[in-house]
Amino acid sequence: MLRITRKSHDLPLIERGPLVQVWINGSQVNAYLGETVAAVLIANGYRTFRLTDKKQKPRGIYCGMGICFDCTVEIDGVPDIRSCITKIRDGMVIKTGGTANG
């Protein structure tokens, strides 16, 4: 699992929120309150968050600040939610158009 680690004593300590459980495409994974949905997806091997409507081309995180809409996913049954600006909640159910490691 890809996570930030402390490699230098010059860096501030990383403070994380409480550990919670979320579901990604039917699999239960750990996440931390305060992280974005996009961060949790990337940490769990997801690079494709959705497929385009017309040509089914893969899309993932692009701008990372909620402008481009490439990172939209379904959250708790609601489609087209921007994952890069949506914070994780305990028990959240996330559906992507891709699979882990792809």
Domain boundaries, the chain: 19-95
Q: What are the contacts of 94-97 at 24+ separation with CB within 8 A?
A: 94/22, 94/23, 94/24, 94/25, 94/37, 94/40, 94/41, 95/24, 95/25, 96/24, 96/25, 96/41, 96/46, 96/48, 96/49, 96/50, 97/48, 97/49, 97/50, 97/51, 97/58, 97/59, 97/73
The CATH fold of domain 19-95: Ubiquitin-like (UB roll) (3.10.20)
pLDDT at 36 over 60: yes
How does pLDDT run across 42-71, given as a tens digit for each residue? 999 999 999 999 999 999 999 989 999 999
How does pLDDT run across 70-84, given as a tens digit for each residue? 999 999 999 999 999
pLDDT for the residue 100: 75
Q: Higher pLDDT residue, 55 or 3?
A: 55
What is the pTM (predicted TM-score) of this model?
0.84
Can you tell me the mean pLDDT for 3-17?
71
